[in-house]
């Protein structure tokens, strides 16, 4: 981390430019690809969209680097570990599924870095047609250092949600320190590595088919939810060094992992400009909207980012959070309602206790409610909130839960159902205490 300070550029989807301060004037003046670049650098473009996309959706950045990324040895296949896109290895399971916190191996038992610590839980679709998603857990205890650099060739984006332990993400654009309750997004083709500082765990969403956007606000107006100014992009930082055994660059291509060797650092970008960048966001900056009269609003009001499908209003994936907020609704059952959804809902818990299930759903675990699978508050939550005094109260204080919601029907992997040994097979029992309250003799009171 020599020469690096935690500095960022503010904004979402902006046209940014950045130079490492050690090389002032590294960005060419007035053009992208001069005959000779300043400092003897190479110009290289990273395209995140087709050249002919409309200007509002056209994404690209220009790098000015010490050596171009094309100089590497041929790629060879490597073991995928528990990272998979084989969605038919297990029989479909329509049940409500919940996982206990996933185990983090101690470094004294086995050294596990970010790459080897990725485990696919569920997903759908296909990277070849670039239409689908996958959801992973990462559990690791060791930094990637020089051995690995990771890049994803087919996904549109890679959203990481650390739950335990901060991570230092080094990219070609610069570095980002990402702590629990922050998220970071690495977009298609961007090379990165992950340093950790002890036992580390978190969640990952891969989206194959679309870039994340901020959700439209409609009648909310110009301000609210995740504000663009709170998204942070790293500033340029480079290293010019070689290591004895070279760098191993891992890429994920058509669902498989490949590696190649090169003798120079992939993070040798001295300056860059463009609108196609990695970024991070702190969830505490989310401007919460909530019901102030009656009823429970739909969770779409908590959407941080959305990856839209070609169908209006239908997302390939939404990233939704359930942050601390006020509950003030009158004559209302305030927790989430019972629900059967045409979307799939994967939930994770970063900290605290989720309001609809205060027991059983734990930080570092997860749940999957597949499309049209019934779900909702457990028995204890229903009884408590059916009789609770309806006074203004803080909801989810000290808690941060989130949801990856998708229009895809998710297949669960063998690792998710069996190998991890964290599936809570008693999950269904949390609804068994629900009892019948029906009274055929009830009549409306006369006003």
Binding residues for Fe cation, as ranges, are 339, 345, 375
* 8-283: in CATH 2.60.120.10: yes
Residues in the chain: 447
Token pair 């200007």 in the structure block, residue: 55
286-425 shares the fold of 8-283: yes
- Write out the chain's pLDDT in tens, 447 residues: 445 578 999 999 999 999 999 999 999 999 999 999 999 999 999 999 999 999 999 999 999 999 999 999 999 999 999 999 999 999 999 999 999 999 999 988 999 999 999 999 999 999 888 899 999 999 999 998 766 676 665 556 688 899 999 999 999 999 999 999 999 999 999 999 999 999 999 999 999 989 999 999 999 999 999 999 999 999 999 999 887 788 999 999 998 999 999 999 999 999 999 999 999 999 999 999 999 999 999 999 999 999 999 999 999 999 999 999 999 999 999 999 999 999 999 999 999 998 777 778 999 999 999 999 999 999 999 999 999 999 999 999 999 999 999 999 999 999 999 999 999 999 999 999 999 999 999 999 876
Query: Smallest Cα–Cα separation from 122: which of 421, 363, 345?
Result: 345
Q: Map out the domains of the chain as residue ranges.
A: 8-283, 286-425
Binding residues for homogentisate, as ranges, are 354, 375
Cα 72 versus chain centre, distance: 29
SS3 285: helix
Residues 6+ apart with CB under 8 A from 213: 305, 306, 307, 308
Active-site residues, by number, are 296
Q: Structure tokens of 201? A: 């765990």
Dihedral over alpha carbons 124, 125, 128, 129 (to 10 degrees)? -160
β-bridge partners, 194: 169
Domain at 286-425: CATH code: 2.60.120.10
Dihedral over alpha carbons 230, 403, 98, 117 (to 10 degrees)? -50
Dihedral over alpha carbons 330, 336, 341, 346 (to 10 degrees)? 150
pTM of the model: 0.95
Listing from the earlier edge strand, what are the strands of the sheet with 42-47? 16-19, 269-274, 60-65, 42-47
Spell out where 275-314 has E strands. 279-282, 303-308
Burial class (CB in 10 A: 0-12, 13-18, 19+), 263: middle
Query: Smallest Cα–Cα separation from 346: which of 375, 323, 326?
Result: 375
Q: What is the CA radius of gyration of the chain?
A: 23
């Amino acid at each position: 981390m020599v020469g690096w300070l935690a500095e960022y550029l503010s904004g979402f989807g902006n046209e940014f430019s950045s130079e490492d301060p050690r090389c002032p004037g590294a960005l060419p003046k007035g053009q992208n690809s001069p005959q000779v670049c300043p400092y003897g650098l190479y110009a290289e473009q990273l395209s995140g969209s087709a050249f002919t996309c409309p200007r509002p959706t056209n994404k690209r950045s220009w790098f000015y680097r010490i050596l171009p990324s094309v100089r590497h040895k041929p790629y060879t296949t490597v073991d995928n570990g528990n990272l998979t896109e084989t969605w038919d290895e297990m029989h479909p399971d329509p049940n409500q599924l919940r996982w206990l916190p996933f185990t983090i191996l101690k470094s004294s038992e086995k050294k596990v870095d970010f790459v080897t610590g990725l485990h696919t839980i569920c997903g759908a679709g296909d990277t070849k047609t670039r239409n689908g998603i996958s959801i992973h857990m990462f559990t690791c205890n060791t930094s990637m250092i020089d051995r690995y650099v990771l890049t994803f060739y087919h996904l549109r984006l890679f959203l990481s949600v650390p739950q335990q332990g901060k991570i230092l993400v080094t990219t070609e654009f610069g570095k980002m320190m990402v702590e629990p309750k922050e998220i970071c997004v690495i977009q298609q083709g961007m090379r990165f590595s992950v340093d950790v500082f002890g036992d580390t765990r978190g969640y990952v969403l891969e989206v194959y088919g679309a870039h994340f956007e901020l959700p439209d606000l409609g009648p909310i107006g110009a301000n609210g939810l995740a504000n663009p100014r709170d998204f942070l992009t790293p500033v340029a930082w480079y290293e010019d060094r070689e290591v004895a055994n070279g760098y191993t660059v891992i890429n994920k291509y058509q669902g498989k992992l490949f590696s190649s060797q090169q003798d120079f650092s992939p993070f040798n970008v001295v300056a860059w400009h463009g609108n196609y960048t990695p970024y991070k966001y702190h969830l505490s900056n989310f401007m919460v909207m909530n019901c102030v009269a009656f009823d429970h609003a739909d969770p779409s009001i908590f959407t941080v980012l959305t990856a839209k499908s070609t169908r209006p209003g239908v997302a390939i994936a939404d990233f939704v959070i359930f942050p601390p907020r006020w509950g003030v609704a009158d004559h209302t059952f305030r927790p989430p309602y019972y629900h059967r959804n045409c979307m799939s809902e994967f939930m994770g818990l970063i900290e605290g206790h989720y309001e609809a299930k205060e027991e059983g759903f734990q930080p570092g675990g997860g749940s999957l409610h597949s499309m049209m699978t019934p779900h909702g508050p457990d028995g204890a939550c229903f009884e408590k909130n059916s009789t609770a005094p309806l006074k203004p109260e803080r909801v989810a204080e000290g808690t941060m839960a989130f949801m990856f919601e998708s229009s895809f029907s998710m297949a669960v992997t063998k690792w998710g159902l069996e190998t991890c040994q964290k599936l809570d097979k008693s999950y269904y029992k949390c609804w068994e205490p629900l009892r019948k309250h029906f009274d055929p003799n009830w009549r409306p009171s006369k006003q």
